[in-house]
Each structure stands twice: as C-alpha cells, then as structure tokens.
Amino acid sequence: MNENKKALILLNMGGPRDKDELEMFLRNMFNDKNIITVKSDILRSFIASMIVLSRKNSAWKNYEAIGGSSPINKLTEDLVDKLNKTFEDFEVFQVMRYTPPFAAKCVQQLKQKGIEEVILLPLYPQYSTTTTKSSVEDFMSVAKNDFKVRVIEPFYKNEKFNDKVTNDIISSVEDTKLYNLIFSAHGLPQKIVDAGDPYEKQVNEHVKILSEIFKNKEIEFESISLAYQSKVGPLKWLTPSLEDRLKELKDKNVLIYPIAFIVDNSETMFELHIEYEEIAKELGINEYKVVSCVNDSDEFINVIEELIQ
C-alpha cells in the first residue's frame, strides 16, 4: 500500500443499467432535496413516488431505444480505466449520485486502501445546485471528516477543454458556414435559478467563450445560439427551449452540442439523437447532427491532469 497515494473521484448523476435500476434512478433523483426543493422530506418522498409511478414505463421505452441501459456507465468506466493507467500518484474512482457505484462503497474502499487525501471532480463543466452541489454534498455526508478533500471548481473556462470542444464541433461537419450551431444545455426550473443557482449565467458565459474561440480560429457558422432541453412538469423552465429554437430553423442545417455534459448519457443519446431528431424532421429541418461529448478522449484526460495539479 502506498501511504502517499491520493484518490481522484469522478462525480456524476449515474444512469440505469436495467429496469430495476431505472426505478432506483428516478426515486433517488426525485428524493434529492436539490432537485425537488420542498422543505418536507415526507412530501418530497410522496412526490418522488408519484413521479416514479407515472414515468417508469414510458422512461423505460426511451432506454430500450438506446439498448436497454444508459451509456454513462460504460463510458465512465472507460474513463476511470484510462485515468488509472495514466496517473501514478492517484487511484481513480467514480461515484454516481442516483445509481451504483454510490459514495458509501467508495468511502469504504478508500478506508481499506488507507487513502487520506481525496480530490473530487464533478463531471459538469458549469456549477448547479442540482448537479455539482448535490454530488459533492452526497459524498461529504458519507465521508464525514475522514479525508482531506479538495473539490475541483467548474472548468468551463479551461483552455484545453474548450479547445477540445471547439475542435470536436469543427471536425463534425465539412463546412461550418452551412450549419446553425445550437449549444443545448440541460434545462432547470426558473425558480431554482431565481433562488441563486449560477448555472444559467455560467452556461451563457461558456457559449460566449466558445464563440470567441471560433472567431479567433476564423470559423463561421450560419448562427450560434443556446437552448435548453429536458423540460418536465408544469413549472416555468429556462428558455428558449430546444424545440422552440428548432422551430426557427426550418429548411436549415442544424448542429447540436450538449454543452452541459462531459459523458454521453440518456439526455444526449436518447433525447438529442432520437427524440429531438424526430422533432427536427417534423419541423422541416434539412440536416440535423449531434456532436458527442468529450467522454474518455485523450484530450479530456489531459484536461483532468491540468485540473488536479
């Protein structure tokens, strides 16, 4: 056992591997006080149960359309494996918020290995209470004060990261001038933003940074815009919705980049690749393309090396 070894822990939301895990995923997500922000635990639990009952079967059909499980699991495992081969001073783990592997098991492993120093890397470029805060709080509630912990800040301003994102977008089409680039971000209820969540501000900043990089590289698009996906329920959510933005682009070519995700998941592989593509066809979009997340790419591993120095 290397006494000096530290742990790097990747934090993400998780995703179901089968139908039983889908119920677990939905139940845990809607029991999260950062997602359903009512003060009463009993009321939140009741709301979660109602949502699970109403959505489980229809949600499972979505997962069946992408092979019966969320791609987030295999892709994150691949990233962890590559990082463990790259780093000598760190042992790398993953902790998911709503499906295994959970924080409790990870903390147990860290203690067994005698690891005392931990770096937490939330796999979200921008900060939100619903993602970053929720995942960090979850880990810390289990870890107590048993480790020296450092949390990596949101990295949407990181140059190497943004180089990777812009290069992926540019190389996905032959002529960028023929495409309307939409940065699609996971939506949030407006009331969460109004309560002080910085996510919308940071996503807007990120779009500005990426647009400036395109300008500096002398790369032009027909248009560049931001839209929000994944709205559920009757509350007012961040606008414009991706569907509304697509409505403005009839007969045009559209290129989508999932700006709020690092690892492809059901929101990218089902919603963007299947659901919104069908909407785009119905709306008369000429060509519709989605760019993959950075996933376990060598360039993103270089980004992580820089972030944890």
195 contact partners, CB below 8 Å, separation of at least 6: 37
**DSSP code per residue over 24-56:** HHHHHHHT-TTTS--S-HHHHHHHHHHHHHHHH
Compute how many other C-beta atoms are within 10 angstroms of the C-beta atom of residue 84.
Answer: 14
What does residue 111 show for φ and ψ, rounded to 5 degrees?
A: -65, -40
- Residue 233: name the closest of 57, 41, 30 by CA: 30
Rounded-to-integer distance, Cα 158 and Cα 75, Å:
22
* Partner residues linked to 224 by β-bridges: 181
Burial bucket for residue 158 (CB in 10 Å: 0-12, 13-18, 19+): middle
Compute how many other C-beta atoms are within 10 angstroms of the C-beta atom of residue 200.
Answer: 20
Rounded-to-integer distance, Cα 46 and Cα 179, Å:
45
Task: Determine if residue 267 is labeled as part of a ligand binding site.
Answer: yes
- List Cα–Cα distances, 12 to 58, 94, 96, 226, 259, in angstroms: 24, 8, 5, 23, 15
Rounded-to-integer distance, Cα 23 and Cα 170, Å:
38
Rounded-to-integer distance, Cα 6 and Cα 40, Å:
38
Burial bucket for residue 271 (CB in 10 Å: 0-12, 13-18, 19+): buried
- Residue 305: name the closest of 123, 86, 132 by CA: 86
Task: Determine if residue 186 is labeled as part of a ligand binding site.
Answer: yes
Annotated binding-site ranges for Fe(2+)? 186, 267
Annotated binding-site ranges? 186, 267
